[in-house]
Amino acid sequence: MTWNPSRPPFNGRLVVVGGQCSKVGKTALVVDLIRAFPGLAWTAVKVTPHAGSGCPVNGPGCRCGAEEHAFAIRHERDEAGGADMSRFLAAGARRAMWVETKAGSVEGALSTLASELAQAEAIVIESNAIVEFWHPDLLLMILDPGRPDSKQSAREALDLAHAFVFRFAGNCLVEPAVGGIVTKAEFCSAFGAAASTRHASPCATNDWRTSSYWVGRGSGERF
């Protein structure tokens, strides 16, 4: 399967943060991005499959059918809460939302989510699945070379990634790839995905809104 996402139906700039697997640091990178570019009025969104049994709207007691209650969008307003969306607010996001979907129901949530994002200027979405449908201005994929596991959706997203991010101990936004510049092809082949030749060592420096977000160290690549 090859994903062929289209431009999202809103005008704000869209950054998507995906990850090779769960607990690889997607939320932390979103927090770092919000902090790194405080001049942007961020709207931060986390998209996840509904983790509990049953319904994302009413919980396990709901007797809805498979087509009903396909998703829930919750606005977070408490930056002192413990949830990831609170961390987005505490980092400086103007708005934070959590989109929970039934399995395979991301597409069904898109039109509602798009209306929520209609006025947003800078949007960051934590999700692998969203890039099947919406082509972001920037897709950052977090990889952990020490972990062989990867989600199918992550493998699909790899080929769309503008840059890979390797997280290490500490809270730095990005680090040079292992051993210097690692090509996207090297990591794509490691995950069995189609290879391409972009460099994959991201170093966030300037405000990407002014089109000066550089990837790579030394032989940086502008996108």
- Residues in contact with Zn ion by CB under 5 A are 55, 57-58, 62, 64, 69
Least Å distance between CB 112 and Zn ion? 16
Instruction: Show the DSSP H helices in the chain as ranges.
Output: 26-36, 84-91, 106-116, 152-158, 184-190
Cα–Cα distance measured from residue 17 to residue 44, given in angstroms and rounded to the nearest whole number: 11
Least Å distance between CB 52 and Zn ion? 12
Complex with Zn ion: residue 52 or 82, whichever CB lies closer? 52
Complex with Zn ion: residue 100 or 132, whichever CB lies closer? 100
Closest CA to 161 of 197, 190, 192: 197
Write the single-letter amino acid at 171: N
Complex with Zn ion: residue 100 or 156, whichever CB lies closer? 100
Least Å distance between CB 72 and Zn ion? 9
Least Å distance between CB 61 and Zn ion? 9
Complex with Zn ion: residue 41 or 64, whichever CB lies closer? 64
126: burial class by Cβ within 10 Å (0-12, 13-18, 19+)? Answer: buried
Complex with Zn ion: residue 68 or 149, whichever CB lies closer? 68
Q: Could you count the other beta carbons within 10 Å of the beta carbon of residue 172?
A: 10
